[in-house]
Structure 1
């Protein structure tokens, strides 16, 4: 197997001369002067691997993912032990600058094989390499993109926490309301909870919780993860703290302007989720609504993609809640969106949640009416929960900048969300105000 290689960095000169003397399958075809030239050469299709020395400190998970999407494996050479640990964190194969040429050739061959295996895994599942987060964005082991960050404690990486994605179609079905209150119920139950706002269109978790945050905590975490510098301590430092009945809810706030979506690179966001699994028992992610992949029709097929953050979270999540409004517009919209979800993220099995359930929109006995309509026209998946349209409680919660368990602890809406979260609270009888009423 012939492996053409491009290099950058004067420190590679001696090692590369040794590679050429080996006359093996690894052949240096281009020596670049800077990383920008290396990226351009990699996108031309003439090389299958890149070796970086000298500029290894500038390598990021996003760059590794970009080269991987072009079919180019990346290897770094450096003698800095701190830098090597950082490169290990973002899963970039590396070796000392004075590595034996034969060992370097073997490392390059390994990197190429790992990249090919990731591509084969994507093809076997019938998914698009650019749209499938598991294959292209490094959520699995051995692929491009970030891996588990060092915890700073010397303990082995153990992924114990769960990730829950809250998603739904356009039209304000109540994604953020559900995400915030699911996180609040879990935190009040004594669990370590991290709430992440990954909506690239209209982030609103900070507003819902009364946080005056202009720094976009998730964007900060992604920047550190992109460089391999995000660990448990850094994540806890970046996250905002919300106190709920004496318990701490950690929040990574969303982007403050919609044009900042490029800061949520999937390769970096994958690293954030890996650290979140270690630092929190439960991670709740509020996702954007759009699943479109129209960027693949553009000339630059590996350009940043606005919806890639949503796709990544849905692929990585252990549980996905699909939220829809319980009315004549919201239900058909949810049915169509579930079909799009199945096509965009094959294998996902969402839990269906109908929100804003009220007699005024569907008639008497709204749950029975909705269940019957769903059985006739839905995608064959049962409804997991009906959330009543308790507008007074929801408005009071939003006005106070906190969760329902503090502003309306006895409300029907709070009780339904707590039940969905597996938390037992006293419930009002269904004839009481707030259940089925406007």
Structure 2
């Protein structure tokens, strides 16, 4: 069966006749005068492949991924080795400008066959995830640095609407793991209310994650560029890096899912643990828009959950927060069925639950909650959190003996970082929760 091809650029004009004289492997169905015309033809389902000899610099990972969704493979003519490597990094097949018709037909067939082998057959609606699904194979996956033998694990911290304390938990998990000796990168991927940088007292207007995503989208995110986008945070017990979130919520389009996949992969090879603070919303955006090719606001959250090795689901321990968590976990199971979250109740206190809060919460969860049990109860410690916020530090520094800090340390298996000198004070606080 002949492959339908659209072309763009002066160099392709001389090749069209040669391709047509081959009578078989490929058929040129349209010669486009502008790149926008070529993209429109691809998205209309007219072609299976596109050949470009100009404007390859305008191609990005997000654009290529969208065309891949509609079943189009791209071949770009270039003699620049750097540009060829950039294009190849996110799924474009490069070819020499002086290539002959037969060789070009072979490149086109090769690109289409490679796409079929990757198994990219599902559309966005079928996948249930934003922009594209990585259950198959992501086209934008950089080669890991040679000096990193084992990729790190990704911990995503998620929770439903209503400020259950996602960012507080994520930031302090990063600090505890860094204090335990891990190399840690904290990523703020909340597309609605990024606040990790502000919590750490960083006056960061550059939005490090958005900067990294832009470079990844262009196929030029190397180790040095990644390091420039990240900010170092030093504590008394260790240091970690942060890719700060977007500074305004209307910048959510900068966190495209394909580019975010590249950033996460780069982060895996730059640290032993990547902690990601994600947004609350799990809606598939195509339900909210008739344009299925448009950017997805919830794509960042869904992609991080999809790629995470571990998901910590945080809910507020009160009469409003617990039902929200129960409903949110049901939505999470639909949006990311492969995820097995660790359930954590935060802000546990007698004032909102009554006497013996842990026992009452456990009994209520057993009656109304999902089958998965609660793994940890984080006690409310508003004075410690306020002190940390005021000083722009983590609990490890502002309140090392607080019950909340010790509970978070225990949650991420860092018992060696628990302050033994303050064990007496923390034990008293925990007894209050058990009454």
> SS at the partner of 2:239?
strand
Superimposed CA distance per residue, residues 153-181 of structure 1 (whole angstroms, 9 cap, x where no aligned partner):
xx388551111110010000000000000
* 8 Å Cα contact 2:75/2:92 also seen in 1: yes
Pick aligned residue for 2:141 from 127, 142, 147: 147
User: Quick check: 2:78–2:97 contact (8 Å CA) kept in 1?
Assistant: yes
Question: Quick check: 1:64–1:92 contact (8 Å CA) kept in 2?
Answer: yes
Q: Structure 1 residues 159, 64: closer, same or farther in 2, change over 3 A?
A: farther
In structure 1, distance between residues paired with 2:377 and 2:125: 34
CA distance in 2, matches of 1:5, 1:156: 41
**Number of equivalences:** 428
Q: Which residue of 1 aligns with 2:336?
A: 345
Q: Which residue of 2 aligns with 1:28?
A: 28
- Kindly report which structure 2 residues correspond to 1:416-435, keeping only aligned pairs within 5 A, or say none: 416-424=407-415, 425=418, 426=420, 427=423, 428-432=425-429
Q: Match for residue 402 of structure 2?
A: 411
Whole-Å separation in 2 of the counterparts to 1:138 and 1:227:
19
Secondary structure at the counterpart of residue 324 of structure 1: strand
Contact 1:149 1:228 in 2 (8 A): no
> Closer, same or farther in 2 for the Cα pair 1:299/1:160, shift >3 Å?
same
Pair 209,305 (structure 1): closer, same or farther in 2 beyond 3 Å: same
Residue 40 of structure 1: aligned partner: 40
CA distance in 1, matches of 2:410, 2:41: 55
More deviation, 209-218/290-299? 290-299
User: Measured at CA, do residues 433 and 354 of structure 1 come closer, stay the same or move farther in structure 2, by a change above 3 Å?
Assistant: closer
* Correspondences of 1:104-143 after superposition (within 5 Å): 104-116=104-116, 118=118, 122=122, 128-129=125-126, 131-132=128-129, 136=132, 138=134, 141=137, 143=138
The separation in 2 between residues aligned to 1:303 and 1:24, in whole angstroms, is: 35
Find 1:180's aligned residue among 163, 171, 184: 171
Which segment is superposed worse, 172-181 or 351-360?
Answer: 351-360
CA contact (8 A) 2:8 2:34 kept: yes
> Alpha-carbon deviation of 1:433?
7.6
Match of 2:353 in 1: 362
Q: Which runs of 5+ in 1 are unaligned?
A: none
Instruction: Report the TM-score, using the length of structure 1 for normalisation.
Output: 0.92
Q: Distance in 2 between matches of 1:282 and 1:297?
A: 34
Q: Does structure 1 residue 274 correspond to structure 2 residue 270?
A: no
One of 259, 277, 297 as aligned partner of 1:286 = 277
The CA RMSD measured in Å over matched residues stands at 2.2
Quick check: 379-388 or 12-21, which moved more?
12-21
Distance 1:75 1:349 in 2: 40
- What TM-score does the superposition give when structure 2 sets the normalisation length? 0.93
CA deviation digits over 1:56-90, x for unaligned, max 9?
12211011012112221222221100111111222
Cα deviation per residue 1:382-404 (whole Å; 9 max; x = unaligned)? Answer: 21211000111111111111110
Q: Tell me which moved more, 248-257 or 293-302.
A: 293-302
Partner of 1:95: 95
Contact 1:149 1:271 in 2 (8 A): no
Indicate conservation of the 8 Å contact 1:324/1:334, yes or no.
yes
Between the aligned partners of 2:185 and 2:428, the Cα distance in structure 1 is 35
SS in 2 for 1:29: strand
Return closer, same or farther for 1:307/1:96 CA change in 2, 3 Å cut-off: same
* 1:5 aligned onto 2:5: yes
Q: 1:373 aligned to 2:373? A: no
Q: Counterpart of 1:382?
A: 373
Q: 1: distance between equivalents of 2:431 and 2:98?
A: 71
State the alpha-carbon separation in 1 of the partners of residues 187 and 269 from structure 2.
15
What residue in structure 2 maps to residue 215 of structure 1? 206
Shift of residue 295 of structure 1?
Answer: 3.1
Matched position secondary structure for 1:384? strand
Q: Which runs of 5+ in 2 are unaligned?
A: none
Q: Structure 1 pair 283/150, CA: closer, same or farther in 2 (3 Å)?
A: closer
Change (3 A) 1:318 1:81: same
